[in-house]
Amino acid sequence: MTAVVLSPCLTLLALLLWIVCEDVVGTSQEAKCVYLDHAQHLDTVGLSQDGDVVIGALINFYVLPPTIDLSFTKEPYLESCSEFQESPVQWAQAVVFAVEEINRNPSLLPGVRLGYRIMDTCTRYPHSLRAVMSMISGGNGTCETTRPAKLIIGDSASTQCIILSRVLSPLRVPMISYLATCVCLSNRREYPNFFRTIPSDMYQARTMAQMAKRFGWTWVGAVVADNDYGLQAVQAFQEETKGTGICLAFVSTLLRERLAKDVDRAVKMVQSSSAHVIMVFAWYMDVEVFLTELVRRNVTDRQFLASEIWSSSSHLLSNPALYTITQGTLGVAIRSAPIPGFEKHLRELHPSRYPHDTILRVLWERTFGCSPVHNKTSQSGLPPCSGKESLEGVQNGATDVSNLRATYNVYLAVYAAAYALHSLLACTAPNSSDPRVTPGCSSPDIITTQQAHQNVIVAPQNSGPTVSGLHVYHVRLSTSPSVRQWASP
């Protein structure tokens, strides 16, 4: 028998295949498709709408990854995450709203219908990587395939964007992030396919350095996320304060998988340090745990400098238990802008309109305590909804449109993708002065990811001078905490 040796390229190709189907021929001689990926259930966590061109979007609906099984007694595979968040539901709906708005626009992509596929990332790169590979390959949790995504909106975190950019760059798949702020991602040579609709941390670090100089704070502590977002922010702050006499007293990191242990260490460091100004770069839910522990230990006499991800978080700042410690916080926040018609869109959301939206189904169950699914597929154990439930009058992270920050960035990212397609497809808009001009676009079937990449233009750009789009906020206490704009850098 002759041995067959696979080349390294073929081996690598085999490892990258997410869906493997095999024909099993039985006595009936019928072909049967078998899905061999044990994590196919993750493909259903999200929402989608088919179209002539599909945009992929990565949203972190859940933030707590499962504990990794290191027993080595079974095949490893990704499991579902927990700790559902309401705010990212609004980000996902910004994609839906923008796509529907673009599809109604007779001038932007006439004759071309945009679609979307939105998947959960669990704020961790294995989930992000699996989701994005499923999107660009057209996988959908079954042996059937769907139209592959030509462009990716996301991810929300810098570490995931670094990894995804390196994976997608050789494939010429462009990605537009709405929250990744790491300065490192501005390197066009390293990340040529990466774009974003949010300023880099260089501006946050510069703003915090200016505040420290203005108030004479020369001894500053730092509590940051144990990832590229937090660690690179500290590095940028040190670069901005070099030669100014401002020094870092300590740097303590927070990782969600060991949050209790890291929070305990960070709080002890804050207690023992003589630094009374603490700079915090971390996800708002992790910051809430950190601040809650400080209050529990009666450490409430510190001045906090807040990064954009938690400085204007209504979830965190409306927590009565944190009123005493968040009072006086100075924070950097990204710009906010209204989206006309978006609140109406949110209020009119209903599972009957989007029956395949599993995220909306979870939001419905959490908000109304009932299941909108009236058949045996409901696994929530909740009583069935009456169908009369409505988000009209409901106030939560999904419906609050008072400060559209990350949401507006998502909205901008979708429009950046649409304008790239407009340019690529050489679309012509209706011309009232020349009725002979027929509105339309060339066939979207010719689009390649490389062509989409070459036509993406996003502001602010990744290099060169830009308007930061940041504001400094001051938290003050009245009957309840309020956030007001204090200054602009």
Instruction: Give me the CATH number covering residue 415.
Output: 3.40.50.2300
Report the distance separating Cα 451 and Cα 468, nearest Å: 29
Mean pLDDT throughout 304-333? 87
Residue 479 lies in a domain: yes
Strand partners, 195: 176
- Tens-digit pLDDT profile for residues 114-141: 999 999 999 888 889 999 999 998 876 6
Residue 343 lies in a domain: no
Residue 348 lies in a domain: no
270 and 206 in a common domain: yes
Residue 47 · residue 96 · CB < 8 Å: yes
Mean pLDDT throughout 49-76? 87
Residue 399 lies in a domain: no
Q: Are strands 481-487 and 470-477 parallel, antiparallel or unpaired?
A: antiparallel
Structure tokens at 270: 């804050």
266 and 182 in a common domain: no
183 and 159 in a common domain: yes
194 and 214 in a common domain: no
- For residue 402, what are the contacts with CB-CB under 8 A and spacing of at least 6? 314
Residue 413 lies in a domain: yes
- Tens-digit pLDDT profile for residues 350-396: 999 888 899 999 999 999 999 998 665 556 689 999 989 999 999 99
Residue 378 lies in a domain: no
215 and 100 in a common domain: no
* Domain assignment of residue 43, given as a range: 37-66+78-198+405-429+439-455
Report the distance separating Cα 146 and Cα 181, nearest Å: 32
- Tens-digit pLDDT profile for residues 251-295: 999 998 899 999 999 999 999 999 999 999 998 889 999 999 999
Count of CB atoms situated within 10 Å of the CB of 440: 16
271 and 237 in a common domain: yes
169 and 213 in a common domain: no
pTM of the model: 0.82
- For residue 100, what are the contacts with CB-CB under 8 A and spacing of at least 6? none
268 and 194 in a common domain: no
Q: Is the pLDDT of residue 461 over 50?
A: no
- Report phi then psi at 301, rounded to 5: -110, 40
The domain tally of the chain equals 2
138 and 47 in a common domain: yes
Nearest to 87 by CA among 307, 340, 371, 395: 395
Residue 137 lies in a domain: yes
Q: Is the pLDDT of residue 439 over 60?
A: yes
Looking at residue 31, its pLDDT comes to 60
213 and 289 in a common domain: yes
Residue 189 lies in a domain: yes
| Cβ density class 178-217: b for 16+ within 10 Å, e for less | bbbbbbbbbeeeebebbbbbbbbbbbbbbbbbebbeeeeb
- Whether the link from the prior residue into 481 is cis, omega within 30° of 0, is no
189 and 49 in a common domain: yes
Q: How many CA atoms lie within 13 A of 26 on its CB side?
A: 5
276 and 243 in a common domain: yes
